[in-house]
């Protein structure tokens, strides 16, 4: 009997996690990547326990430990003087699933290496999905490239092709993403050049009016990932626009000396405009969307990669269950069940991230009230506030929150 086979558009974190999750369940896939080479863009990411459990179930805990940093919690500081607002300490040794800090390229490399080792995962690069037709037997995808078209067949298509998703437009949602009025500047700082001696490895936030910054160690502690958010008048597509150091220096002029020193040690700033988009219909027949293709998440909750990983785990499980019971005819039902299972959670994460953005960027005097609320919450209140997010698991087929 021929093994079931799915098509996956996009070889980013979500697409590769989906391919691995399917492969472990005996389901083959072809991963289609329009870029001519593999190499994840972006700087660092926070891999929280909710998504970490999905990757640990794929036997990736050891390689993640080699390249990541186990976080010792969160520190929130004021922009101007750097004074602490609230600290939420954590002991990684007491967490069943650690809160990992790592570079995006390291996570992508781990996923790619694991996928390449699976005989039932095939890659096609340099070609993008141009069109998809569905029928009772499956889907037929037309790929476009400089050398002409090509068609592929599968039982279904998983669209994991990012914010400007072609797969999403094929489901009937062609409305473009909306610019938020903010842009993010990101860079890496060698730890040896950073003035963070004696600090435990953790996430540090600096909150200011219409701006904030976040930094944390990655690459086994050898580098510090720093991201600075600022308002912008116009949007630009892409992840690789070079930033002018003079612009950032001016933006940080009123920041604390520690923040200015850390940013001053960074070189090669890259800038990307922040876009928002309402959640899509995550399934239509034999097509399902995951990650940014379905529900881009603003970076104020550090859940973009984690939500894509969650999506991939849930979708793979439901496809395996329906294929086992119903064969190829069960794919549309699996896609529909996935959309229903994820809708409430992804909408809640998106809105929580937007709310964080509003709170992070409050100016005086509203920032005083925000800081008082955070201080009153304290470490235990902060943990309780986000229990619905980090305690999520899919082991039983159900979701929290």
* 157 in Cβ contact with 167 (< 8 Å): yes
Beta carbons within 8 Å of 6's beta carbon, 6+ residues apart: 22, 27, 28, 29, 30, 154, 155, 156, 157, 158, 319
* 19 in Cβ contact with 8 (< 8 Å): yes
Separation of alpha carbons 314 and 337, rounded Å: 10
Identify which of 332, 11, 335, 349 has the alpha carbon closest to the alpha carbon of residue 160. Answer: 11
Residue reference for tokens 């797969």:
167
216 catalytically annotated = yes
Separation of alpha carbons 387 and 399, rounded Å: 12
Burial of 25 (0-12, 13-18, 19+ CB in 10 A): middle
Separation of alpha carbons 89 and 246, rounded Å: 35
Give strand ranges (E) for 79-222: 84-89, 100-103, 121-125, 128-135, 138-144, 150-154, 157-159, 178-190, 203-208, 211-218
Catalytic pick from 216, 338, 386, 390? 216
Task: Give 376-385's long-range contacts (Cβ < 8 A, gap of 24+).
Answer: 377/86, 378/86, 379/73, 379/86, 379/87, 379/88, 379/89, 382/74, 382/86, 382/88, 383/88
* 99 in Cβ contact with 201 (< 8 Å): no
Q: What is the sign, positive or negative, of the torsion defined by CA atoms of 390, 106, 218, 349?
A: negative
Separation of alpha carbons 398 and 332, rounded Å: 20
∠ Cα 387 391 396 (to 5°): 140
Question: H or E stretch including 333?
Answer: helix 331-360
Separation of alpha carbons 10 and 313, rounded Å: 16
- Please identify every residue annotated as catalytic: 216
């Amino acid at each position: 009997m021929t093994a079931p086979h799915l098509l996956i558009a996009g070889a980013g974190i979500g697409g590769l996690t989906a391919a691995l999750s399917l492969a472990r369940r005996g389901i083959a896939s072809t991963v289609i990547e329009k870029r001519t080479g593999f190499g994840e863009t972006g700087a660092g990411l926070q891999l929280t326990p909710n998504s970490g459990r999905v990757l640990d179930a794929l036997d990736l805990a050891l390689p993640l430990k080699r390249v990541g940093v186990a976080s010792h919690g969160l520190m929130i500081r004021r922009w101007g003087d750097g004074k602490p607002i609230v600290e939420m300490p954590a002991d990684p040794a007491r967490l069943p699933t650690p809160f990992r800090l790592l570079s995006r390229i390291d996570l992508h490399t781990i996923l790619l290496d694991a996928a390449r080792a699976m005989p039932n995962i095939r890659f096609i690069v340099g070609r993008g999905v141009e069109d998809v037709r569905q029928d009772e037997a499956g889907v037929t995808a037309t790929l476009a490239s400089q050398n002409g078209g090509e068609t592929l067949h599968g039982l279904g298509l998983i669209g994991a092709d990012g914010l400007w998703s072609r797969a999403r437009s094929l489901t009937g949602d062609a409305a473009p993403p909306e610019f938020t009025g903010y842009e993010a500047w990101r860079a890496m700082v060698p730890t040896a050049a950073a003035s963070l001696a004696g600090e435990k490895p953790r996430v540090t936030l600096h909150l200011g009016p219409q701006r904030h910054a976040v930094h944390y160690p990655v690459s086994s502690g050898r580098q510090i990932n720093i991201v600075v958010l600022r308002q912008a008048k116009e949007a630009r597509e892409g992840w690789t626009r070079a930033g002018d150091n003079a612009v950032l220096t001016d933006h940080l002029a009123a920041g604390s000396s520690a923040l200015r020193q850390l940013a001053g040690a960074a070189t090669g700033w890259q800038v990307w405009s922040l876009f928002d988009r309402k959640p899509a219909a995550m399934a239509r027949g034999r097509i399902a969307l995951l990650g940014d293709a379905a529900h881009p998440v603003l970076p104020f909750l550090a859940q973009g990669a984690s939500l894509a990983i969650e999506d991939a785990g849930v979708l793979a499980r439901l496809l395996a269950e329906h294929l086992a019971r119903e064969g190829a005819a069960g794919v549309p039902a699996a896609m529909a069940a996935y959309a229903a299972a994820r809708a409430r959670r992804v909408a809640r994460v998106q809105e929580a991230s937007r709310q964080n953005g509003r709170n992070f960027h409050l100016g005086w005097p509203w920032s005083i009230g925000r800081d008082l609320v955070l201080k009153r919450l304290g470490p235990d209140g902060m943990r309780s506030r986000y229990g619905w997010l980090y305690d999520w698991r899919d082991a039983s087929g159900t979701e929290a929150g």
